[in-house]
Amino acid sequence: MPDVLLVENREAVRILTMNRPDKLNALNSELTAELLKGLEAARDDDSVRAVVVTGAGRAFCAGADTSEFATLTSDNPEAVFQRADLSRRLHVAFPTLGKPIVAAARGHAVGGGAGLCLASDLVVASPTLKLGYPETKHGIVGAIVMTGLVRQLGPKKAFELVALGEPLTAQQAQSLGLINRLVPDEGLLNEAVALATRLASIDPVAMRATKELFYKVMELPYDEAMIAGRDANIAMRGYRSSKK
């Protein structure tokens, strides 16, 4: 059986490719766990300064693998909890990883796949992208992905997406600020790697501090966010002085 996650290094950029193309890279437990391990390994490897996450074949990720749902029922509460918590830990890993993550997304990025796409720090997409949260159409809830979506998009549009379950085109997603670059499909991965390479060239301490502060101030009240900014300012001045 092929590996469900492919790992490739291009200098200081690590590429993590979800590799279940026949299932549109749907997230079963194995792929979810391997992607989490891949992110943690990139975090712990000093030679890696940026990460690209993408999907093999014609899709980024079609969300949860529904074939597992038959065993995830109220009759098996421990399995339900473990699977849900694995998804939570994967989504938390994206903003808390101290290195920038670029998504290279084409085709379907729906449900959990849309969540991973938007959890990335930057998104490079092809015109084939279809991004959405169709869970309500299947009688379930876009639960774990909702936190990131509301923070990035705001309540009105985010509610429309999770309630109606209708996907966005790549152009619509870009107009809402959910995509950073829209590039021809054939150049998608190279463009994402080029962007990640630029990020990798930045001082890693400054990049880590920037990412940590960015996600912290997203969630804090204004005054507390300003205090966090002040403290980061002081810490980085000390860091710069120590380099001289």
Which DSSP string do the residues of 98-158 spell out, in sequence order? Answer: SS-EEEEE-SEEETHHHHHHHHSSEEEE-TT-EEE--GGGGT---HHHHHHHHHHH-HHHH
Residues 182 and 96 grouped into a single domain: yes
Residues 192 and 237 grouped into a single domain: no
Residues 60 and 38 grouped into a single domain: yes
Q: What is the mean pLDDT of the chain?
A: 93
Q: Catalytic positions, please?
A: 135
Residues 185 and 211 grouped into a single domain: no
Residues 127 and 235 grouped into a single domain: no
Percentage of residues in the chain with pLDDT exceeding 90?
Answer: 82
Where residue 1 falls among pLDDT bands split at 50, 70, 90? Answer: low
Whether residue 149 has pLDDT greater than 70:
yes
Q: Which range, of 18-32, 142-156, 192-206, averages the lowest pLDDT?
A: 142-156
Residues 53 and 155 grouped into a single domain: yes
Given the DSSP bridges, would you call strands 122-125 and 130-132 parallel, antiparallel or unpaired? unpaired
Whether residue 243 has pLDDT greater than 80:
no
Q: What integer pLDDT is reported at residue 47 of this predicted model?
A: 98
Q: Distance (Å, rounded) from C-alpha 28 to C-alpha 5?
A: 12
Q: Distance (Å, rounded) from C-alpha 187 to C-alpha 127?
A: 11
Residues 95 and 179 grouped into a single domain: yes
User: Rounded mean pLDDT of 160-165?
Assistant: 95
Q: Which two tokens stand for residue 243?
A: 């380099």
Q: Distance (Å, rounded) from C-alpha 39 to C-alpha 37?
A: 5
Total domains in the chain come to: 2
Helix (H, G, I), strand (E, B) or coil at 179: coil
Q: What integer pLDDT is reported at residue 241 of this predicted model?
A: 63
Q: What is the CATH number of the domain that holds 115?
A: 3.90.226.10
| Domain span including residue 93 | 5-200
Residues 118 and 219 grouped into a single domain: no
What does the pLDDT look like over 49-73, one tens digit per residue? 999 999 999 999 999 888 877 777 7
85: CB partners within 8 A, 6+ apart: none
Residues 145 and 93 grouped into a single domain: yes
Q: Distance (Å, rounded) from C-alpha 6 to C-alpha 213?
A: 30
Residues 17 and 91 grouped into a single domain: yes
